[in-house]
Amino acid sequence: MEVVMLKTTTRELTCLQRRELERFGERVSRFGVNFAVVDAQGQIAVLLNAGESESDTQELITAGRQVLEAAPSPTEDPQDSVVWQFADGQLLLAVPLCLPLVAAGHRAPVGTAIIDLGPAAKQVRSSETGPTADRSAYLAEMLKLLAQNFQTSVRTDEQMEMVGTELSLVYEELVLLHKISMNMRVTESDTNFLQLACDSLTEIVAVDGIAVLLERVVDGDRQFVVAAGSGLIDLNSRMAHVLHGRLVDELRRGQEALLDSDVDTPWRFEWPGHIRNIICVPLYAKGASDPAAAKAGSQTSFSIIGYMVAVNHAEKPDFDSTDIKLFTSVASGCAVFIENGRLFNDLKELFVGSLRALTNSIDAKDQYTRGHSERVAIISRWLGERIAEQEPFDEEEIHRLYLAGLLHDIGKIGVDESVLCKNGKLTDKERACIQRHPAIGAGILNGIKQMRDIVPGVLCHHERVDGKGYPKGLRGDEIPLSARIIGLADSFDAMTSKRVYRNAMTIEHALAEIRKGLGTQFDEKIGTIFLNSDIGKLWELIQGTSPSLYGREHLADYGTAAVGTLLR
C-alpha cells in the first residue's frame, strides 16, 4: 500500500487529527479502496492509495470542494450527515468533517473525507444488489461514523486542552503564592515585598497596569497612595479616593471585589476612557479579612488598609471569578505581610526603647555622663560611615556599631554608684571594679542570641593598640575593629564632656590628644580617618543641633532600623 502525505499547511486540521484520519484510511484500505482527505482550503491533506488504481487527485479535489461548499445547517445532527456519492471517472463516497457546534451557531467544515472505490463504469456494470453494493453501504456507514467520531474527538481534545490550560494556570498561581510566601520576611520592606507581588502577578496575568495602594497620612489627611506598581496605570489622589469609595460600596453589597466592564452589562461606574475593564480587591486589616463583614452595612464593620487594582486584561474581555480568587489571595498575603511588619516595627521600637531606658538609667548614675551612651553610638556610626567611604564596610556592620556604642557601658550596672561618681583618685580595688564593666556587659549581652554580634565591641572597647588596655591586654589587630572604633568614640566624648573630677576639653584639645595617642591608645588608621572627617558636622550631630537624619527627632527611627539588623 502506498501512502502519500502532501505537505500542505492548514489552519484547521491539526497533526493529531490528520494522524487519526490516516489510521482510518489504513483500516478501510483492507477493502482494496483508496482514502483521501481534502482540507478547508480545497487541497489534498491525506492520500492513501490501496486500490487497483491510483485516485485522480483533481477529481478528489473537485468532489471535496463541492462537499465543503454545502456546509451543514446549524441544527443538523452529525449522526444525520449525508454521505455524498460521485460517479464520474471514479466512484467516490464523501462526508464532511466538521468541528463541534460553536457559539456562532454553525459547525465549520475543516475538510472532506473521501473513499475511492475505483472506476465508476466498472461499478455501474455490477449488480445493484450483491457484494459490491454491500461493500459500498458498509463503507458509507464507516464514513458516517468517522464524521461523528471526528467531532467527538475534537470536542474531547478541546476539553483536555481546557483542563490542561486550567491546570497550568493553577500551577502558576501556586508557584506565585509560594514565591510570595517565601519572601514574607518581617525584615523585608513593605515597598520591596509589594513590588514583588505586583511583578509576580503580571507574569501570569497580562494586564496594562497593576498597583497596590496603602492608607497613609499625607499633610495631616488620611489618603490612599501608590506603594508599588507595574505597567501603565494612572492613579492620582482624586482617582485613588474615588476607587476606594466604589470598592467599599461593592463590599457593602456583599461582593468580594470591584469588577467593571461593558462586556455583559453596561458600565456600573464612569471610568477614564483608556480603561476597558478593571478589578479592585481590598487589603483587610488583621481581624477584618472576611469580605462578608461588609454585609453589616457599616464601614466600621470592616477595616481596609489598602487595595490592589489592575486594568485592561489583555487575554480576555473582562476579569472574572478566577481572577478575583487569584487577586484576593495575593492581596490577602500582602495584607498579612503589612500587618506583621507593623507589629514587628512596634516590637523593634519597644526593644530599642528598652535599650535606651537601660542605658539612660546607667548614665543617670552620674549627672556628668548623662547622654554619653547615645553620643558614643552616634560617633561610632559616624566613624563607620567614614570608613565605608574608603573601604568595604557594609550597612549592617554600621548598624551593629551603633548598637554596640549604645550598649558599650551596660556593664556599669554591676558597678557601685559610689565608685562611678567618686570625686578623687580611685584605689586599686576601685579601679579593678571599674575595669570589670566591659566583661559584665559582654556577659549580659552574650545571653541574648541576637546580641552576640555586638559583644566583641562591648567587651574590648577599653583595649589599646599598645596592649596596655583591659580586660585582656590585646594588641593592634587582635582588637576587634568595632572595639577600636567604639574605644575612640568613647574617649572623644569623655574628653569633651564635663566630669566630676575635671572640666570638658575643647574640641581642639580633644583632637590633639587623639592625634598624640595614635599608634599607642588608638588605631592609627581609624584615628586618622576620624581626624580628617568633618568634626564640626559631627559636633552638631551629637549636640542634636543638626537638621539632618542624625537629628534628635530621627534617632529613635535609626535605632529601630539598627535593631532590625540583629533579627535578619
pLDDT tens readout for residues 199-236: 888 888 889 999 999 988 777 788 888 888 888 888 88
Question: Per residue in 294-303, pLDDT tens?
Answer: 444 444 446 8
**Is 405 found in the same domain as 529?**
yes
| Sign (positive or negative) of CA dihedral 318, 324, 327, 331 | positive
Residue 26 within any structural domain of the chain: yes
- Report how far residue 431's alpha carbon sits from residue 312's, in angstroms, rounded to the nearest whole number: 75
In degrees rounded to 5, what are phi and psi of residue 460? -110, 15
Is residue 198 classed exposed, middle or buried when 0-12, 13-18 and 19+ CB atoms within 10 A define those classes? buried
The reply to whether 317 and 371 lie within a common domain is no
- CA neighbor of 214 nearest in space, from 224, 228, 222, 205: 224
Q: State percent of the chain over pLDDT 70.
A: 78
Same domain? For 414 and 516 the reply is yes
Model pLDDT, residue 396: 87
pLDDT winner (highest mean) among 281-285, 368-372, 497-501? 281-285
- Shared domain for 412 and 561, answered yes or no, is yes
Same domain, 415 and 326: no
Residue 195 lies in a domain: yes
State the greatest distance between any 2 C-alpha atoms of the chain, in Å, as a whole number.
140
- 544/551 Cα distance (integer angstroms): 5
Residue 292 has pLDDT above 70, yes or no: no
Average pLDDT over residues 243-249: 92
In a domain, 199, yes or no: yes
Question: In angstroms, rounded to a whole number, what is the distance separating the alpha carbons of residues 148 and 170?
Answer: 33
* Residues 184-211, mean pLDDT to the nearest whole number: 81
pLDDT at 361: 76
pLDDT tens-place string over residues 396-406: 899 899 999 98
Other CB atoms closer than 10 Å to residue 442's CB: what's the count?
22
Q: Tell me which of 294, 322, 338 is where a domain ends.
A: 338
Please indicate, yes or no, whether residues 143 and 289 belong to a single structural domain of this protein: no
Please check the confidence at residue 516 and state whether its pLDDT lies above 90. Answer: yes
Residue 355: inside a domain: no
Greatest mean pLDDT range, 1-10, 75-84, 337-346, 489-498: 489-498
In a domain, 182, yes or no: no
Task: Band the pLDDT of 518: cuts 50, 70, 90.
Answer: very high
Do residue 31 and residue 102 come from a single domain? yes
Q: Are residues 136 and 215 in the same domain?
A: no
Quick one: pLDDT at residue 297? Answer: 41
What CATH number should be reported for the domain holding residue 37? 3.30.450
What DSSP designation does 283 have?
E
Contact 461, 483 (CB under 8 A): yes
With respect to residue 343, please indicate whether it lies within any of the assigned structural domains.
no
Domain count, the chain: 3
Residue 454 counted as domain residue: yes
All three cell numbers of 460: 574590648
Residues 139 and 205 in one domain: no
Cell numbers placing 117: 472505490
Whole-angstrom distance, CA of residue 52 vs CA of residue 116:
10
Tell me what pLDDT residue 34 has: 93
CA distance 473 to 128: 121
Which residue has cell 454585609? 295
What band does 562 get if pLDDT is binned at 50, 70 and 90?
low
Asked which of 338, 354, 374 is the last residue of a domain, the reply is: 338
Tell me what the mean pLDDT of segment 261-273 comes to.
90
The per-residue pLDDT for 366 is 61
pLDDT digits (tens, 9 = 90+) for 436-447: 999 999 998 888
Its pTM surpasses 0.75: no
- Give the ranges where 74-130 is alpha helix by DSSP (H): 120-125
Q: What is the average pLDDT across 382-388?
A: 94
Tell me the pLDDT of the chain averaged across its residues. 81
Letter string b/e over residues 390-410, b meaning 16 or more CB atoms within 10 A of that residue's CB: eeebeeebbbbbbbbbbbbbb
pLDDT in tens, 528-546: 999 999 999 999 888 875 5
Q: Are the CB atoms for 486 and 380 separated by under 8 Å? A: yes
Tell me the residue range of the domain where 43 lies. Answer: 2-156
pLDDT tens, residue by residue, 449-462: 878 889 999 999 99
**One domain, residues 228 and 296:** yes
Find the range with the poorest average confidence among 166-170, 262-266, 304-308, 450-454. 166-170
Question: CB–CB of 234/313 below 8 Å?
Answer: no
Q: pLDDT higher for 134 or 208?
A: 208
Q: Is 195 helix (H, G, I), strand (E, B) or coil?
A: helix
Report which of 386, 381, 362, 384 is spatially closest to residue 373, judged by C-alpha positions. Answer: 362
Is the pLDDT reported for residue 311 higher than 90? Answer: yes
